[in-house]
């Protein structure tokens, strides 16, 4: 009987180890397969070095992108073609024109509908440009080169991919605007979430109210924040849509805003409601990570021994001085680690951003916080959903870049933690 | 500033039970429960803190009952008594550290220079600059030795570098730590030994130039050798500072203190000159505790 029992016990004990090892192996294998697939697909598009590009110096070259037209020396062109009307194009907002009539490449200037452009841009002189011999103009039109180093970067495959806009042709498709969009919304998100989250955590951890009703409110807020951390992120997308994009429709509509500052071309342009712009996207992401930032900052603050607070207070410091000079410096490594990990979650979030900006084809980098944008995960999603096999490869390359960004963030978090741990044994 | 101690117990102006005192004196001529009657020492000593009718609660639990005690200027007062009798609670009301405990409250008066420490109007931040505290477990800040000492002074004003250097050196010398750390002021205080850390904490408290220093079992986490150094230090500091020390160690109380107060179950059983308390305690409880029969 006892022997039997002992045997069962041994089997259970061994079996437990076997199951654990098996589970770990399966997950590692799955991860390896995933990485292998992505790397195999993605590197085809990324690796390969355009040596010819290195030689491209500052020598003038024909314009490529539609926006390159801004760099053309129009007065000189007007003189050489003896078409004075061309000189007026110096001040042309090429970006807006390209957006209005959806052009991608410089040679599409042939197809521009000038009378319509004159209308949309409220610039009557443009209507006359329909008579220009654009074929000839394109032959002699040049823009300045990038210079050696810029050209090296720009002409390498990775450089191309990271800087150029998406395209109908997979071999030209890049993640420029979506990477920029991701950087913009993450910057907005971090700039708002960090002070807000750390401030809330300080309030919740360091200011314990005395009255009973205040303590109840305190506990209620605490409970809700812990719960919010588990809410699916798409829910925040819907909140962001109503709260930031439309502002509950009480302050006009995004197209007919209640308040504006500057014109849509200005870098400081601001409007209320925010519309489907960078600001709304960033704030929505902020909602997603705010509970994570708060909870991790709270944990970091809680890990600071009470004896330090008491020691500081006993020397006659105010509560704020204690927080500022004792608690926060001791908690900073934990707060930073938590916040960086929260930011890396923000970078990868697709669902809430999708609700804010939708799947849009954007060829320009955002110029201000009201500009429409797209984000890296959405761009990848878009490519992965297309029928052409080539686009799947482009998507894999995008994933590699996304992974690289995430790994960088995690590495920074680790370095910060190590550095501070060494400083404070 | 402070009132001189009354020459005779019957004259004690703010004692709450003046009529009892003659009776006690008749019965026990050498000691008395009257806190201000510590005959010989009180002759020269001024009263630094006058505590009258102090009651303290944590929620509904009463931790201190009707405490009357005078803490004498430039003397060491030892608080002894079994665990949980309210010694720390008493100490933590003297610098209002109990404000940090949400359920804690107190009634009565704790008079320092004519101001009531327990009143709502008391600025606790300013109070704690005058009443320093050393904790049971050494709690050096995770900063350099220099920054530990400079932490307190820097809170209150901007200090020129040279003046601060001098202040750090003076505090460390007072705490008998200077010779051991003068070559590594910029290194982390956490690298010091336990005894050194506790002396650092004392130096840190001294750096804000308090009048009163509270020590809550400052040696209980230390080895005998470090304990001896701290005791020596306390005896030196007695010349300039008023010290209140909680201790579990009877020999320590006998060695370092001038006045001893015995607490039991939230009450002050008796207080008086340390010699008297240890040789001729007025109460049986005290005698039992001192001789190690309970507590
Ligand atoms: N923060 C607190 N909350 C509730 N009760 C407390 C608290 N601190 C101490 N007490 C209680 O008050 C009594 C006195 O405690 P304390 O002053 O720490 O005793 P001592 O220092 O003499 O050992 C004890 O019964 C203890 O349980
Ligand atoms: Mg205690």
Q: What pLDDT digit, counting tens, does each position of B197-225 carry?
A: 999 999 999 999 999 999 999 999 889 99
Section A358-371 average pLDDT = 85
Q: Which residues pair with A166 in a beta bridge?
A: none
CA dihedral A78, A81, A83, A87 (to 10 degrees): -10
Same domain, A415 and A292: yes
- Alpha-carbon distance of A143 to A59, in angstroms, equals 9
Which residue from B62, B63, B103, B264 has its CB within 8 A of the most atoms of ligand 1, so it is best to mutate?
B63
DSSP output for A329-351: HHHHHHHHHHHHHHHHHHHH--H
Cα(B83) to centroid of ligand 1, in Å?
A: 9
Q: How far apart are CA A363 and CA A398, in angstroms?
A: 16
User: Of all residues in chain A, what percent carry a pLDDT higher than 90?
Assistant: 37
Per-residue model confidence (pLDDT) at position B290:
87
**pLDDT score recorded for residue B20:** 36
Q: Which has more pLDDT, A156 or B207?
A: B207
Higher pLDDT residue, A116 or B192?
A: B192
pLDDT given at position A56: 47
In whole numbers, what is the pLDDT of chain B averaged over residues? Answer: 85
Chain A residues near residue B94 by CB distance under 8 angstroms: none
> How far apart are the C-alpha atoms of A195 and B215, rounded to whole Å?
39
Index of the ligand 1 atom closest to the CA of residue B59: 4
Atom of ligand 1 nearest to the CA of B61: 5
- List residues in chain B touching A: CB distance below 8 A: 95, 97, 100, 102, 125-129, 132-133, 135, 137, 139, 141-142, 151-152, 155-156, 188, 190-191, 201, 204-205, 208
Q: State pLDDT tens for residues A273-296.
A: 898 999 999 999 999 999 999 999
Place of tokens 């601060």: B164
Which CATH number goes with the domain that contains A277? 1.10.3720.10
Q: A36 and A68: one domain?
A: no
The count of CB pairs under 8 A between chains A and B is 65
Q: Is residue A168 in some structural domain?
A: no
Q: Which residue has the tokens 């004259």?
A: B11
Indicate if A294 and A400 belong to the same structural domain: yes
Q: CA-to-CA distance for B283 and B272, rounded, in angstroms?
A: 12
CA A98 – CA A121 distance, rounded (Å): 12
**A257 occurs within a structural domain:** yes
Predicted confidence band at A300 (pLDDT cuts at 50, 70, 90)?
Answer: very high
Report the Cα B178 to chain-centroid distance in Å: 24
Atom of ligand 1 minimally distant from the CA of B81: 22
pLDDT of residue B168: 96
Alpha helix stretches (DSSP H) within chain B: 20-27, 39-44, 87-94, 124-130, 145-156, 161-174, 178-181, 194-207, 224-237, 250-256, 274-279, 284-290
Q: pLDDT digits over A35-80, tens only? A: 888 888 777 777 654 444 444 455 677 787 787 788 888 888 888 8
In a domain, A237, yes or no: yes
Predicted pLDDT at A352: 94
Distance from CA of A402 to the nearest CA of B (A): 38
Same domain, A21 and A132: no
For residue B117, name the pLDDT band (cuts at 50, 70, 90): very high
Among the partner residues A210, A310, A330, nearest to B97 by beta-carbon distance: A310
Ligand nearest to the CA of B295: 1
The more confident residue out of A89 and A307 is A307
Inter-chain CB proximity B155 and A307 less than 8 Å: no
Whether A43 and A73 map to the same domain: the answer is: no
Q: Ligand 1 centroid to B285 CA: how many Å?
A: 20
CA distance B134 to chain A (A): 8
Q: How far is B86 from chain A (nearest CA, A)?
A: 19
The pLDDT value recorded for residue A97 is: 83
Residue A244's pLDDT band, with cuts at 50, 70 and 90, is very high
Cβ <8 Å between B97 and A313 = yes
**Could you give the CA distance from residue A424 to residue B60 in angstroms, rounded to a whole number?**
41
Which ligand is nearest the CA of B87, by number?
1
Residue A153 confidence class, pLDDT cut points 50, 70, 90 = low
Considering only the beta carbons, identify the residue of A308, A318, A325 that sits closest to B125. Answer: A318
Q: Is the pLDDT of residue B27 over 50?
A: no
Q: What is the mean pLDDT of residues A164-189?
A: 88
Contacts of residue A313 in chain B, CB cutoff 8 Å? 97, 100, 128
| pLDDT over threshold 50, residue B165 | yes
State the number of CA atoms in the 13 A half-sphere of A82 facing the CB. Answer: 0
Same structural domain, A246 and A342: yes
- Ligand 1 atom with the shortest distance to the CA of B87: 22
- Cα(B87) to centroid of ligand 1, in Å? 8
Residue A96, token pair as written in the block: 């807006």
Q: How far is the CA of B49 from the centre of ligand 1 (A)?
A: 22
Residue to mutate among A315, A318, A423, A425, with most B CBs inside 10 A, is A315
Q: Is the pLDDT of residue B28 over 70?
A: no
User: Do residue A182 and residue A149 come from a single domain?
Assistant: no
> What's the token pair of residue B5?
């101690």
A305–B139: do the CB atoms touch at under 8 Å? yes
pTM of the shown model = 0.76
Average pLDDT over residues A347-357: 92
Residue A201 burial by Cβ neighbours in a 10 Å radius (0-12, 13-18, 19+): buried
What proportion of chain B, given as a percentage, has pLDDT over 90?
70
Give counts: helices (H), strands (E), chain B.
Answer: 12, 10
The number of residues making up chain A comes to 425
The CATH number assigned to the domain with range B46-139+212-290 reads 3.40.50.300
Confidence bin at B292 (pLDDT 50/70/90)? confident
Ligand having the closest approach to the CA of B60: 1
- Place A94 in a pLDDT band, splitting at 50, 70 and 90: confident
Which of B62, B88, B218 has most ligand 1 atoms within 8 Å of its beta carbon, as the pocket-test mutant?
B88
Q: What tokens does A153 get?
A: 């970067």
Residues B148, B175: contact at Cβ < 8 Å? Answer: no
Distance B88 CA to ligand 2 centre (A): 4
A389 or B106: which leads in pLDDT: B106
Is the predicted pLDDT of residue A423 greater than 80, yes or no? no
Residue A337 has pLDDT above 50, yes or no: yes
Report the pLDDT value the prediction gives residue A155, as an integer from 0 to 100. Answer: 60
Mean pLDDT, residues A122-131 taken together: 84
pLDDT band at B35 (very low <50, low <70, confident <90, very high): very low
Residue A345 half-sphere exposure, CB side, CA atoms within 13 Å? 19
- Of B48, B54, B46, the C-alpha closest to B109 is B54
Q: How much is the mean pLDDT over chain A?
A: 86
Task: Tell me: do A192 and A132 sit in the same domain.
Answer: no
Q: Report, as an integer, the average pLDDT of A351-357.
A: 92
Q: For ligand 1, atom 16, name the residue with the nearest CA.
A: B86
For the segment A114-138, the average pLDDT, to the nearest whole number, is: 85
- The chain A residue lying nearest B137, using CA atoms, is A307
- Cα–Cα distance measured from residue A218 to residue A205, given in angstroms and rounded to the nearest whole number: 10
**Cα–Cα distance between B41 and B70 in angstroms, integer?**
12
Find the DSSP H helices in A126-175: 134-140, 148-155, 157-163
Whether residue A367 sits in one domain with residue A334: yes
Q: Residue B133: which of A305, A314, A321 has the nearest Cβ? A: A314
Predicted local distance difference test score (pLDDT) of residue A65: 76
**Domain boundaries defined on chain B:** 46-139+212-290
Q: Fill in the DSSP letter of residue B5.
A: P
User: Are the C-beta atoms of A121 and A98 separated by less than 8 Å?
Assistant: no
Identify whether the C-beta of residue A311 lies closer than 8 Å to the C-beta of residue B151. no
Split at pLDDT 50, 70, 90, the class of B163 is very high
Q: Do A315 and B208 touch (CB under 8 A)?
A: yes
Distance B68 CA to ligand 1 centre (A): 19
Chain Cα centroid distance, residue A235: 19
**Min CA distance, B267 vs chain A (Å)?**
26
Q: How many domains does chain A have?
A: 3
* pLDDT value, residue B42: 45
Sign of CA dihedral A238, A239, A240, A246: positive
**Sign of the Cα pseudo-torsion (A379, A382, A385, A387, in order):** negative
Reading phi first (left if > 0) and then psi (alpha if -120 to 50, else beta), residue B74 is in left
Residues of A in contact with B58 (CB under 8 A): none
> In the predicted model, is pLDDT for residue A229 greater than 60?
yes
Which of A41-55, A369-383, B39-53 ranks highest by mean pLDDT? A369-383
Domain span including residue A147: 59-153
Q: What is the pLDDT of residue B151?
A: 96
Q: What is the pLDDT of residues A97-112, one digit of tens each?
A: 887 777 878 888 888 8
Q: Is the pLDDT of residue B108 over 60?
A: yes
Instruction: Determine contact: A211 vs chain B, CB below 8 A.
Output: no
């Amino acid at each position: 009987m006892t022997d039997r029992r002992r045997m069962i016990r041994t089997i259970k004990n061994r079996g437990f180890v076997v199951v654990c090892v098996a589970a770990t192996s399966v997950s590692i294998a799955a991860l390896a397969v995933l990485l292998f697939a992505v790397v195999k697909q993605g590197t085809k598009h990324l690796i390969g070095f355009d040596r010819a590009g290195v030689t491209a110096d500052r020598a003038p070259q024909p314009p490529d992108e539609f926006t390159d037209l801004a760099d053309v020396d129009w007065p000189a062109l007007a003189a050489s073609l003896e078409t004075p009307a061309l000189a007026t194009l110096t001040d042309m907002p090429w970006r807006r024109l390209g957006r209005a009539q959806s052009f991608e490449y410089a040679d599409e200037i042939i197809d521009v509908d000038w009378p319509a452009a004159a209308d949309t841009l409220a610039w009557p002189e443009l209507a006359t440009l329909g008579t220009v011999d654009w074929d000839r103009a394109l032959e002699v039109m040049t823009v300045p080169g990038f210079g050696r180093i810029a050209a090296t970067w720009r002409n390498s495959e990775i450089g191309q991919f990271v800087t150029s806009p998406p395209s109908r042709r997979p071999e030209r498709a890049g993640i420029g605007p979506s990477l920029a969009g991701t950087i913009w919304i993450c910057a907005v998100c971090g700039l708002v979430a960090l002070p807000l989250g750390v401030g809330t955590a300080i309030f919740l951890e360091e200011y314990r109210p005395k009255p009973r009703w205040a303590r109840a409110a305190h506990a209620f807020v605490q409970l809700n924040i812990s719960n919010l951390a588990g809410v699916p992120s798409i829910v925040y997308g819907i909140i962001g849509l109503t709260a930031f994009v439309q502002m509950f429709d009480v302050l006009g509509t995004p197209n007919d805003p209640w308040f504006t500052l500057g014109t849509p071309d200005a870098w400081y342009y601001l409007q209320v409601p925010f519309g489907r712009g960078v600001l709304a996207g960033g704030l929505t992401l902020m909602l997603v990570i705010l509970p994570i930032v708060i909870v991790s900052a709270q944990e970091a603050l809680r890990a600071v021994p009470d004896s330090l607070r008491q020691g500081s207070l006993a020397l006659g410091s105010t509560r704020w001085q204690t927080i500022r000079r004792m608690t926060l410096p001791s908690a900073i490594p934990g707060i930073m680690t938590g916040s960086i990990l929260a930011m890396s979650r923000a970078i990868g979030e697709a669902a809430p951003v999708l609700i804010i900006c939708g799947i849009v084809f954007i060829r320009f980098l955002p110029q201000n916080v009201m500009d429409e944008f797209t984000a890296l995960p959405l761009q990848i999603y878009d490519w992965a959903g297309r029928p052409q096999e080539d686009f799947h490869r482009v998507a894999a390359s995008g994933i590699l870049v996304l992974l690289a960004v995430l790994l960088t963030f995690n590495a920074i978090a680790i370095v910060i933690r190590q550095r501070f741990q060494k400083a404070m044994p | 500033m402070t009132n001189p101690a009354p020459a005779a117990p019957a004259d004690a102006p703010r004692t709450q039970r003046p009529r009892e005192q003659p009776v006690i004196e008749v019965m026990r001529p050498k000691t008395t429960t009257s806190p201000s009657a510590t005959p010989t020492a009180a002759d020269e000593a001024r009263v630094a803190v006058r505590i009258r009718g102090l009651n303290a609660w944590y929620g509904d639990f009463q931790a201190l009952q009707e405490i009357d005690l005078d803490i004498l200027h430039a003397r060491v007062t030892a608080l002894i008594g079994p665990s949980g009798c309210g010694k720390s609670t008493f100490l933590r009301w003297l610098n209002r550290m109990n404000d940090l405990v949400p359920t804690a409250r107190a009634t009565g008066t704790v008079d320092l220079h004519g101001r009531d420490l327990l009143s709502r109007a008391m600025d606790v931040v300013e109070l704690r600059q005058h009443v320093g505290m050393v904790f049971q477990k050494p709690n050096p800040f995770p900063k350099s030795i220099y920054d530990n000492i400079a932490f307190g002074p820097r809170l209150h004003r901007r200090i020129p570098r040279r003046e601060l250097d001098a202040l750090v050196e003076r505090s460390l010398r007072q705490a008998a730590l200077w010779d051991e750390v003068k070559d590594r002021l910029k290194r982390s205080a956490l690298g010091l030994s336990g005894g050194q850390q506790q002396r650092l904490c004392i130096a840190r408290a001294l750096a804000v130039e308090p009048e009163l220093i509270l020590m809550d079992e400052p040696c209980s986490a230390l080895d005998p050798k470090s304990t001896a150094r701290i005791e020596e230090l306390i005896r030196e500091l007695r010349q300039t500072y008023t010290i209140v020390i909680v201790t579990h160690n009877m020999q320590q109380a006998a060695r370092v203190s001038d006045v001893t107060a015995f607490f039991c179950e939230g009450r002050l059983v008796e207080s008086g000159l340390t010699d008297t308390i240890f040789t001729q305690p007025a109460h049986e409880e005290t005698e039992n505790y001192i001789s190690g029969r309970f507590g």
